[in-house]
Amino acid sequence: MKTVESKADMQYRAEEVLRSLLSQVSTIKVLEIQYESHASRAKGRFVAHIEVLGRSHALACEVRTHAPCAHLHKAIEELNQEASKLSPKAIPVLIVPYLPADAQAICKEFNAAFVDFEGNARISLGEVFIVKRSMRARSAAAVSSVVASQEMNTRLHSPTAFIAPNIPAAASRSRTDTAAIVGVA
């Protein structure tokens, strides 16, 4: 059964996803996440004040339920305008539950930072550049067939190492596959 997240739940999740992403980089310290006003909270906008190697940055974030490619360029322009009102150096960040590869390419083309709930992210913070990409979940049977074909290929061609999805993780997770080194010659 599919449940619909409330706007408040989605904003809370967006904050947590952003905090989690930033905490993975030891040189980034999250100082504060704040909403400018009740109106900005209603629109899903917040500011994350962070420090990177001792330098302050402001991430002007906007949480959206989706970002269709047809309207993404306009959404990026609006986000850039809102961020510039906050500070000329504010970094606009689009946060959505899932951003497909074609939409990620549009964001990259327009130098727009993004984070999604599936584990995809791209943020340039001057001193630090974060790029994270997750794979959509596959069934355990599909993962097993990939591993089997790679093992056969390894026996025939004997490469130095090969990468395959971690079967226990893929079977137990519904959103992402993880990778592990399976064999070394």
Distance between CA atoms of residues 149 and 157, nearest Å: 12
Task: Fold for 7-133, please state it.
Answer: Trna Endonuclease; Chain: A, domain 1 (3.40.1350)
Look at residue 163 in the predicted model and tell me its pLDDT.
33
Look at residue 181 in the predicted model and tell me its pLDDT.
29
Look at residue 48 in the predicted model and tell me its pLDDT.
95
Question: pLDDT below 50 — which residues of the chain?
Answer: 1-2, 138-185
Look at residue 41 in the predicted model and tell me its pLDDT.
64
Look at residue 37 in the predicted model and tell me its pLDDT.
66
Look at residue 56 in the predicted model and tell me its pLDDT.
93
Look at residue 177 in the predicted model and tell me its pLDDT.
36
Token pair for 53 = 């190697």
* Spatial CB neighbours of 134, under 8 Å, sequence gap ≥ 6: 118, 119, 120, 175, 176, 177
Enumerate the domain spans of the chain.
7-133, 136-184
pTM score, two decimals?
A: 0.69
Three-class HEC string of the chain: CCCCCCHHHHHHHHHHHHHHHHHCCCCEEEEEEECCCHHHHHCCEEEEEEEECCEEEEEEEEECCCCCHHHHHHHHHHHHHHHHHHCCCCEEEEEECCCCHHHHHHHHHCCCEEEECCCCEEEECCCCEEEECCEECCCHHHHHHHHHHHHHHHHHHCCCEEEEECHHHHHHCCCEECEEEEEEC
Look at residue 66 in the predicted model and tell me its pLDDT.
86
Look at residue 42 in the predicted model and tell me its pLDDT.
62
